[in-house]
Amino acid sequence: MKGEPSAQTFDLATSGGLYIKESQPPYDTVSIHGDISFRELPKTVRQKELGIAHPHYDHSLAEQDINIIFPSIIFHYKGLTTGVKKLGMTS
């Protein structure tokens, strides 16, 4: 990275199977070919709006604290102390 963090825009990505329950379909967890599609998550999304569709890990900890697999809140608060000012519109 060149320059100061405050001058950069950061985006987050996760392979945790997250989707917005009210507006996005869950990932296909049955197909032997998997599901290579993606879902855009706005930076304002709340944990209670998210569903997890991923058959290969125990969801219990992520359901307690979504920051384990999608650290948008931690990223935001860390940005306050590191000077990071911009997180992409969808992460």
Give the whole-number percent of the chain exceeding pLDDT 90. 40
Taking only the tens place, the pLDDT of each residue in 22-52 is 999 999 999 989 899 999 988 788 889 999 9
Residues 53 and 17 sit within 8 Å (Cβ to Cβ): yes
Over residues 67-78, the mean pLDDT reads 75
pLDDT-based confidence at 3, cuts 50/70/90? confident
| Length of the chain (residues) | 91
Is residue 80 scored above 60 in pLDDT?
Answer: no
The set of residues, in sequence order, having a beta carbon less than 8 Å from that of 28 and lying 6+ positions away, is 34, 35
pLDDT > 80? residue 78: no
Q: What is the pLDDT of residue 62?
A: 92
Beta bridge partners of 42: 90
Per-residue pLDDT band at 91 (split at 50, 70, 90): very low
**What is the residue type of 54?**
H
Contact 45, 18 (CB under 8 A): no
Tokens describing residue 9 = 């825009």
Q: CB of 27 within 8 A of CB of 53?
A: yes
